[in-house]
């Protein structure tokens, strides 16, 4: 075990945030902390790392274990370059390297006993240098920088000139290079594009230490986590498995708890009716029986009603009218900003009812395409046509469609003057704005709150073509799932940009990948895209190696077949091992049962029965021996 949290509690202004939170982290755990916005996830991380005191409870780290923490907002301010800032993590290795070079120089001009001492010292220094990864730390550093989305021409940029998101990536890079025993990450994917997130997933999956992650990226959590710690209504529950496993188990537990609650409530009502009936007889015996039942009813520990399934935010997306079959047509679109050429000559079309996701790395021009379609910026060249009866509803990730000086009530009433006071309040209440919330100004809202206002306006627009730019940004997991359900039930057409792979996987029927200034079309969701992209990459690499050689292609296919056969063989081996282990366990249980039987007074004096049981034990021992031999054979197979 590397970390133990026992009965952690925390309150702010007498409002309880965390209550008796308990869990532990083993040496190689990859644990996710999940919960709605405001549940206390970041507060818990800050308590663990000592930035915030707990009101009650104990945080215990195992002896000599180290940890590193990446908060959501970094205050990295350094005059170093990006490269030198990460290199500062390896200062111990750099000092060792300098000592090695100095020792080498001294050895050149030494002899005899002095040379022997220097050689011994050099051997020890070399060993320490090698153990610390001294021969690979610079290539490792470059690998981390590139993995996190920095190009080589970025390496010499001063950290002080970077954006907040870039500084967070620098801080993450330093943390990964430090390699503590436990890494704690608070929303690490917020400032990463898809390629960088995929790289980080692979890095963390292969990381030798433990990891605790707070993230709204469900696809990321699915790939990384083997344990989920849920914080719900100040309390914690630990689930084994990844996020999808947790979601299934959580729903099963909620359903079971709700069923138990409903059954108990039904029984309570039944007993109350019986008691009332007995009292109505107004006879001494019936009154005593009623009193007896009342006492039993008072002793019942009444179950709390479980929280309802996520349904706080109420989004209903429905077009007012049906568009033509051809919704959007784009041909030969190009756009540059100065010397930066985003894309050139791209084209695509979108049909009614399609849900199309545009994906790609940061800075490739995804949002620019949406802005061109909406007429916010012009294309340098190309043709763009919308079909008949197409009405566009636009969700802007920066929420520029909102008027910062207006209140929420004014924002809705000014754009939809036909709505009365009650209708406006009802709409805002559906997006969790109640009471005096409706008189808050847009500029005073958080990112998540502005997102909810934009979604409310989108719902009221009744458009038949929704164009969404990063619609899940700042939404918690519950709100994302509600939005996903709303889009899946929407009968109109959707075009959106998102880096949320779980969201894309659930809502997209087609994917357009913007890469190297061109669009590549994939007719499926994100899982389909990954599968086809891997096939295309494999085919490209094979053909690029020797496009004229059919021999190389056949070798590649042969390798693929061999790989598949090897995987099938491995699966068969694992299945047989599992069957053997189950059989051995069953036989050992039976053996233990026989031992208990033989110790019983009525059997231990029965010679015939004892002989039967002894024969059974011998037969079981032989079977176990045979199964164990087979198990060892399988385990030793390559």
Give residue 207's pLDDT band: very low, low, confident or very high (50, 70, 90). Answer: very high
Choose among 451, 476, 454, 469: nearest CA to 359: 469
Higher per-residue confidence, 434 vs 358: 358
Q: Which residues contact 571 (CB under 8 A, 6 or more apart)?
A: none
Q: Are 30 and 224 in contact (CB under 8 A)?
A: yes
- Compute CA 69 distance to the chain's CA centroid, rounded to the nearest angstrom: 18
Strand partners, 69: 184
3-class DSSP state of 136: coil
DSSP 438: G
| Residue whose pair of structure tokens reads 């053996």 in the numeric block | 591
Query: CA dist 53 to 2, 34, 58, 237, Å?
Result: 20, 21, 10, 22
CA–CA distances in Å: residue 23 to residues 217, 311, 382: 22, 28, 58
Q: Which of 28, 409, 367, 393 is nearest to 193 (CA)?
A: 367
Report how far residue 458's alpha carbon sits from residue 463's, in angstroms, rounded to the nearest whole number: 8
552 pLDDT tier (thresholds 50, 70, 90): very low
Average pLDDT score over the chain = 87
In the numeric block, the tokens 């005096």 are attached to 436
CB 450 within 8 A of CB 397: no
Residue reference for tokens 């039976």: 590
**Is a pLDDT exceeding 70 seen at residue 567?**
no
Strands of the sheet containing 381-386, edge to edge, are 340-351, 326-337, 381-386
Q: Categorize the per-residue pLDDT at 542 as very low, low, confident or very high, splitting at 50, 70 and 90.
A: low
User: Residue 555 pLDDT > 60, yes or no?
Assistant: no
Written as six digits, the tokens of 169 are: 């990536």
Q: What are phi and psi of 462, to 5 degrees?
A: 55, 35
Residue with the bigger pLDDT between 79 and 354: it is 354
To the nearest 10 degrees (0 to 180), the angle between helices 421-430 and 408-415 is 120
Q: How far apart are CA 637 and CA 609, in angstroms?
A: 42
Q: Higher pLDDT residue, 357 or 619?
A: 357
Q: What is the pLDDT of residue 543?
A: 54
491 touches 352 (CB < 8 A):
no
What whole-number distance in Å separates Cα of residue 578 and Cα of residue 556? 33
Interatomic CA distance for residues 571 and 576, integer angstroms = 9
| Region 104-128 average pLDDT | 89
Q: How many CB atoms lie within 10 A of CB 394?
A: 22
Average pLDDT over residues 492-513: 94
Mean pLDDT of 352-358: 95
Residue with tokens 């215990």: 60
Long-range contacts of 588-593 (CB under 8 A, 24+ apart): 588/624, 590/616, 590/620, 591/617, 591/620, 591/621, 591/624
Q: Residue 154 carries which DSSP code? A: G
pLDDT on residue 634:
72
Q: 360-397 pLDDT, tens per residue? A: 988 889 999 999 999 999 999 999 999 999 999 999 88
Helix, strand or coil for residue 445? coil
CA distance 473 to 124: 52
Place of tokens 């290539």: 139
Which residues fall within 8 angstroms of residue 546, CB to CB, at 6 or more apart? 552
Vertex 499 angle, CA 496 and 501, to 5°? 100
Share of the chain above pLDDT 90, in %: 50
Among 139, 199, 133, residue whose Cα is nearest residue 169: 199
- What are the start-end ranges of the E strands in 427-561? 465-469, 493-497, 510-515, 518-522
Lowest mean pLDDT: which of 116-120, 163-167, 292-296, 438-442?
163-167
Task: Compute the average pLDDT of residues 184-189.
Answer: 92
The pLDDT of residue 79 is 84
Residue 599 is classified by DSSP as T
Give the separation between CA 283 and CA 535, rounded to whole angstroms: 83
The answer to whether 527 touches 509, Cβ cutoff 8 Å, is no
> Using CB atoms within 10 A of its CB, is residue 361 exposed (0-12), middle (13-18) or buried (19+)?
middle
DSSP string, 95-130: HHHHHHHHHHHHHHT--HHHHHHHHHHHHHHHHHHH
pLDDT of 225 strictly over 90: yes
pLDDT per residue as tens digits for the range 568-613 = 677 787 778 778 878 888 888 888 888 888 778 787 777 777 788 8
Q: For residue 49, what pLDDT band results from cuts at 50, 70 and 90?
A: very high
DSSP symbol at 322:
P
- The reported pLDDT for the residue numbered 563 is 54
Residue 223 near residue 526 (C-beta atoms within 8 A): no
pLDDT tens digit string along 302-327?
A: 888 876 544 467 888 899 999 999 99
Listed range (111-125, 254-268, 434-448, 617-631) with the worst mean pLDDT: 617-631
């Amino acid at each position: 075990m590397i970390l133990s949290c026992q009965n952690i509690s925390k309150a702010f202004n007498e409002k309880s945030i965390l209550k008796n939170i308990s869990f532990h982290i083993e040496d190689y755990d990859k644990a996710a902390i999940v919960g709605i916005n405001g549940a206390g996830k970041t507060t818990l991380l800050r308590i663990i790392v000592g930035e915030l005191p707990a009101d009650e409870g104990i945080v215990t780290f195992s002896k000599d274990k180290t940890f590193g923490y990446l908060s959501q907002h970094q205050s990295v301010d350094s005059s170093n370059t990006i490269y030198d800032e990460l290199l500062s993590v390896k200062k111990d290795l750099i000092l060792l390297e300098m000592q090695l070079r100095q020792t080498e120089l001294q050895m050149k001009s030494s002899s005899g006993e002095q040379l022997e001492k220097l050689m011994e010292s050099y051997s020890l220094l070399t060993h320490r240098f090698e153990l610390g990864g001294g021969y690979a730390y610079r290539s490792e550093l470059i690998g981390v920088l590139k993995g996190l989305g920095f190009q080589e021409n970025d390496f010499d940029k001063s950290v002080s000139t970077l954006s907040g998101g870039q500084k967070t990536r620098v801080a993450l890079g330093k943390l990964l290079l430090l390699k503590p025993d436990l890494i704690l990450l608070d929303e690490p994917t917020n400032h990463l594009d898809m390629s960088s997130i995929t790289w980080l997933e692979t890095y963390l999956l292969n990381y030798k230490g433990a990891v605790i992650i707070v993230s709204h990226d469900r696809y990321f959590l699915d790939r990384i986590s083997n344990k989920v710690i849920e914080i719900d209504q100040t309390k914690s529950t630990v689930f084994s498995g990844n996020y999808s496993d947790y979601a299934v188990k959580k729903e099963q537990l909620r359903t079971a708890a709700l069923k138990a609650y409903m059954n108990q409530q039904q029984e309570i009502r039944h007993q109350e009716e019986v008691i009332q009936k007995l009292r109505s007889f107004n006879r001494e015996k019936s009154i005593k029986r009623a009193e007896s039942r009342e006492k039993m009813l008072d002793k019942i520990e009444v179950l709390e009603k479980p929280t309802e399934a996520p349904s706080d935010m109420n989004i209903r997306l429905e077009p007012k009218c049906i568009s033509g079959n051809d919704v959007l047509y784009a041909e030969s679109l190009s756009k540059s900003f100065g010397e930066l050429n985003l894309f050139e000559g791209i084209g695509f079309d979108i049909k009614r009812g399609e849900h199309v996701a545009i994906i790609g790395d940061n800075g490739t021009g995804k949002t620019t395409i949406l802005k061109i379609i909406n007429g916010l910026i012009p294309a340098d060249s190309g043709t763009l046509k919308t079909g008949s009866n197409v009405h566009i509803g636009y969700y802007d990730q920066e929420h520029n469609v909102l008027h910062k000086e207006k209140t929420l009530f004014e924002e809705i009433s000014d754009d939809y003057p036909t709505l009365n006071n009650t209708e406006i309040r009802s709409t805002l209440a559906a997006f969790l704005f109640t009471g005096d919330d409706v008189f808050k100004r847009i500029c005073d809202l958080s990112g998540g709150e502005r997102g909810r206002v934009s979604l409310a306006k989108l719902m009221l627009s009744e458009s038949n073509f929704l164009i969404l730019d990063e619609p899940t940004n700042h939404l918690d997991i519950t709100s994302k799932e509600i939005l996903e359900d709303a889009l899946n039930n929407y009968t109109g057409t959707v075009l959106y940009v998102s880096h949320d792979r779980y969201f894309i996987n659930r809502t997209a029927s087609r994917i357009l990948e913007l890469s190297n200034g061109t669009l590549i079309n994939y007719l499926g969701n994100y899982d389909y895209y990954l599968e086809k992209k891997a096939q295309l990459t494999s085919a490209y690499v094979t053909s690029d190696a020797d496009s004229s050689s059919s021999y190389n292609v056949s070798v590649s296919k042969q390798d693929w077949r061999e790989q598949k056969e090897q995987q099938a063989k491995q699966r068969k081996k694992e299945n047989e091992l599992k069957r053997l282990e189950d059989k051995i366990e069953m036989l050992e249980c039976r053996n233990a049962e026989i031992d208990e039987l033989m110790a019983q007074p009525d059997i231990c004096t029965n010679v015939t029965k004892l002989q039967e049981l002894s024969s059974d034990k011998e037969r079981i021992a032989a079977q176990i021996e045979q199964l164990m031999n087979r198990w060892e054979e399988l385990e030793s197979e390559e």
